[in-house]
Amino acid sequence: GIQVEQSPPDLILQEGANSTLRCNFSDSVNNLQWFHQNPWGQLINLFYIPSGTKQNGRLSATTVATERYSLLYISSSQTTDSGVYFCAVRNSGNTPLVFGKGTRLSVIA
């Protein structure tokens, strides 16, 4: 099945700093989503982005499907950005999403 690798596994940032999280996948995809899991376990859908670029406030994401990677940019990070960021992909039809292991982000004041 399709493999999803996220990097870095852990990231510590000073408040106000910018960061880039990466998701590599091993096959073509028709669905890619980024999620944020807050410290209480709630998973929030950030982007549905099988290709192209999207922005939502301080967050933006770019997927280059032909090169099998996606990037999540966080600018001017805040302590509330802390948590785990997951990338999930689907490579055909209605097959289930496959999740990466996540990037654990800690933003310190």
Partner 1 sequence: ETGVTQTPRHLVMGMTNKKSLKCEQHLGHNAMYWYKQSAKKPLELMFVYNFKEQTENNSVPSRFSPECPNSSHLFLHLHTLQPEDSALYLCASGLAGVTQYFGPGTRLTVL
List of residues contacting partner 1 (CB under 8 A): 30-31, 33, 35, 40-45, 48, 86, 88, 90, 93-94, 96-97, 99-102
CB of 78 to partner 1, least distance (A): 20
60 vs 75 by CB, closer to partner 1: 60
84 vs 107 by CB, closer to partner 1: 84
CB of 14 to partner 1, least distance (A): 26
48 vs 55 by CB, closer to partner 1: 48
Length in residues, the chain: 109
CB of 22 to partner 1, least distance (A): 16
| Spatial distance between the Cα atoms of 65 and 71, rounded to a whole number of angstroms | 11
- Give how far Cα 22 sits from Cα of 38, 40, 74, 94, 109, Å: 19, 23, 12, 24, 24
CB of 35 to partner 1, least distance (A): 7
Q: Is the peptide bond before 8 cis (omega within 30 degrees of 0)?
A: yes
- Residue for token pair 């967050």: 59
81 vs 100 by CB, closer to partner 1: 100
> Which of 75, 82, 76, 87 shows the shortest CA–CA distance to 106?
82
